[in-house]
Each structure stands twice: as C-alpha cells, then as structure tokens.
Amino acid sequence: MTSAPSLTFVFEIRAEIAEHLHIGHGDGERTEFTPITGGSVHGPRLTGTVLPGGGDWSSTRGEIFQLEARYLIRADDGAVIDIVNRGYYHEGGTSPEQYDGALMVARAGTYFRTAPVFRTDAPAHRWLAETVFVGLAREEDGHIVIRCYSVD
C-alpha cells in the first residue's frame, strides 16, 4: 500500500528586503525587483545567513504576483548555497489558515507558496540539491519568511 507524500520541516529563511524597484509595465503586466539585503536561516537541518546582493523579480497580472527570487546562503560551516525560489502570491482565495505547531505559517485567504531549488557542491549540504521542497511564505517584521519543508 502506498501513502500520500508528507512534508518535513527543515529550516526557515528570514530574508531582509529593501524597497522594491519598479522596472516597467507590459501588456497587462507590471514588473518589479525587490533587493534582498541579508537575513538568516535557522532550522534542524540548516543554519546560516542570507548573503546580501540577491533579489526577487515579481510579475503582477491583475491581483496575482508571480515571484522569482535568487540569492545565496552561507551555511554556518562556510559552504555557499545558491537558491532559486519561484512561487505565487495572491489574496482573496480559499486558502485556509495554517499552523505548524503553535506558529501560524499562512493566513486565511492568502496564498503565498514557493518551490525553492538549491545548488551546492558542499558534501554536507548535497541533500539540498537532491530534494524537492515546498515553502510557506509570509511577511513578518519587515522580512519575507519562508518556512521550508522537504517532500518525503
């Protein structure tokens, strides 16, 4: 008998961001860039810092934001890890309020989900480049917080 995939919490990214920069308008679309200026990573499988210099490109069509962030993480052991994190944000849907224990990780009516992909050749972190992840994102205290789960 098979079972549905499960999710396991691995770490949380707290990305510090600067004011977004308007890039332009297309046919029914608006494009913006939000610089990532630093941050932290904490969890049972990875701890480190978010390095400044990356950012998030968003394309907005109506009320739907399509996101693509790219930045670097430096693990506490010094390894550098590349992350490309794509996802969607929109409000007014039927998404439920969600908790991980006592921590609210998603507000009702807000869909803010990502699919982070990692690259590194550091042996201790190679598992990141060999695993599928889901991110539940939220805004908190001037940060974008992404709670990352491995798909088991």
User: Dihedrals φ, ψ of 128, to 5°?
Assistant: -65, -35
- Provide the pairing of β-strand 29-42 with 103-106: unpaired
| Helices and strands (H and E) in the chain: how many | 0, 12
Q: Is the pLDDT of residue 10 over 80?
A: yes
- For residues 79 and 74, what is the distance between their CA atoms, to the nearest angstrom? 6
Predicted pLDDT at 76: 98
Cβ atoms within 10 Å of 87's Cβ, excluding its own: 22
- CA 99 from chain center: how many Å? 17
For 97-109, the pLDDT digits (tens) are 888 888 888 888 8
Predicted pLDDT at 45: 97
Within 13 Å, how many C-alpha atoms sit on residue 106's CB side? 22
Cα 51–57–60 angle (5° rounding)? Answer: 150
Q: Is the pLDDT of residue 2 over 90?
A: no
Predicted pLDDT at 108: 86
Confidence grade of residue 134 (pLDDT, cut at 50, 70, 90): very high
Cβ atoms within 10 Å of 54's Cβ, excluding its own: 22
Residue 41 β-bridge partners: 13, 48
Q: Taking all residues of the chain, what is their mean pLDDT, rounded to a whole number?
A: 93
- CA 146 from chain center: how many Å? 4
Query: pLDDT over 70 for what percent of the chain?
Result: 99
Q: Can you give the pTM of this predicted structure?
A: 0.91
- For residues 33 and 19, what is the distance between their CA atoms, to the nearest angstrom? 9
Residue count (the chain): 152
Predicted pLDDT at 122: 97
